[in-house]
């Protein structure tokens, strides 16, 4: 997708996409944790919690980059 199509640079679009997917993943991983716990798989449940934390960190980093790009554009 190009800037002409969206009105945003490709990098902004890419960051928004990664942020969205990281947040969406974090949402569905909660069910994966419950599934693993319900079947008594504590180690697997912890793995899904770790994946959730990693995606949350990824989304936060994308958000910081987007704020930086927005600030730079405003200047």
pLDDT per position as a tens digit, 46-69: 999 999 999 999 999 999 999 999
pLDDT recorded at residue 9: 83
Residue 46 lies inside a defined structural domain of this protein = yes
Residue 32 lies inside a defined structural domain of this protein = yes
pLDDT recorded at residue 72: 79
- Continuous H helices in the chain: 3-6, 10-38, 42-74
Using CB atoms within 10 A of its CB, is residue 66 exposed (0-12), middle (13-18) or buried (19+)? middle
Domain count across the chain: 1
pLDDT recorded at residue 23: 95
pLDDT at 29 over 90: yes
pLDDT recorded at residue 56: 96
| Domain, as residue range, for 30 | 12-74
Residue 5 lies inside a defined structural domain of this protein = no
């Amino acid at each position: 997708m190009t800037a002409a199509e969206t009105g945003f640079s490709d990098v902004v679009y890419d960051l928004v996409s990664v942020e969205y997917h990281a947040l969406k993943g974090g949402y569905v991983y909660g069910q994966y944790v419950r599934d693993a716990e319900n079947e008594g798989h504590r180690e697997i449940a912890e793995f899904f919690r770790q994946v959730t934390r990693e995606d949350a960190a990824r989304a936060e980093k994308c958000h910081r980059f987007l704020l930086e790009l927005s600030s730079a554009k405003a200047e």
